[in-house]
Amino acid sequence: MSGPDHTARAWVRLPSGRRLDLLAPTPFDWTDDDLALGLARTFRWGGHSIWPGLPLSVAQHSLAVLERARRAQPLTAAQQLRELLHDAEEGLINFDCISPLKPFLGQAFADLQTRLAAMVALRYRLPPWTQAERAAHKRCDIAAAAAEAVHVAGWTTTEVRDTLGIKASVDLEDMLARHYGEPAWQPWPPELAAKRFAAELARLLAACA
């Protein structure tokens, strides 16, 4: 039985044709469109959805968290950009790990995520989180997850609390539906999610310039 192949490919080709080196990424390995498309094609909740043929993308989730954060308190353009990009590394590898699987992936995968997140922060000049800012962000992220669990993934409110361990209340209002004029809680097709994410990313980058 042969041993591991240490010369195995460690890079992925992105839609733009650029190569992302997973072991030594740089801030120049992807385009903004690569990121938007990757997040739009990466699905939360393992791709499971009560909406036929429409899983929820990380791109749509990212916009929802941003909208919650905006409503919670005033944010600078840079802070808004940080909210939008809080899961950006998932779009670069097209994988949003569900919670039950995380313990089995080990430290190597955690290190990969950390490397990619650091490159995202460097490329987009994201300000570091303060402890209070991180806590405020997590409240928005968890509240979004609670709503998604019920309205998209089909969990009951009791299961959200007792099985998923999420104590946040489950919102009835879909903040993005009002903003974009879509049916409440309906996941967007990947092409539409990518377009809307890319537009918000471009707007915030221009505001930060």
Q: Does residue 114 have a pLDDT over 70?
A: yes
Residue 5 is predicted with a pLDDT of: 55
Q: Do residues 194 and 40 make contact, with C-beta atoms less than 8 angstroms apart?
A: yes
pLDDT tens, position by position, 170-204: 999 999 998 999 999 999 999 999 999 999 999 99
Name the one residue in this structure whose structure tokens are 């990380």. Answer: 58
pLDDT tens, position by position, 119-142: 999 999 999 999 999 999 999 999
Residue 28 is predicted with a pLDDT of: 96
Q: How confident is the model at residue 99 (pLDDT cuts 50, 70, 90)?
A: confident
Q: Does residue 84 have a pLDDT over 80?
A: yes
Strand locations in the chain (E): 11-13, 19-21
DSSP string across 61-95:
HHHHHHHHHHHHS---HHHHHHHHTTTHHHHHHT-
In degrees and rounded to multiples of 5, residue 21 shows phi and psi of -80, 115
Residue 115 is predicted with a pLDDT of: 96
Residue 9 is predicted with a pLDDT of: 82
Q: Does residue 162 have a pLDDT over 70?
A: yes
CATH class for the domain made up of 25-208: mainly alpha
pLDDT tens, position by position, 20-74: 999 999 999 999 999 999 999 999 999 999 999 999 999 999 999 999 999 999 9
Residue 8 is predicted with a pLDDT of: 75
Name the one residue in this structure whose structure tokens are 């992105």. Answer: 14
β-strand partners of 12: 20
Instruction: Please give the Cα distance from 20 to 17 (Å, whole number).
Output: 10
pLDDT tens, position by position, 1-30: 455 555 678 899 999 999 999 999 999 999
pTM of the model: 0.94
Residue closest to 81 by CA, chosen among 109, 46, 48, 123 = 123
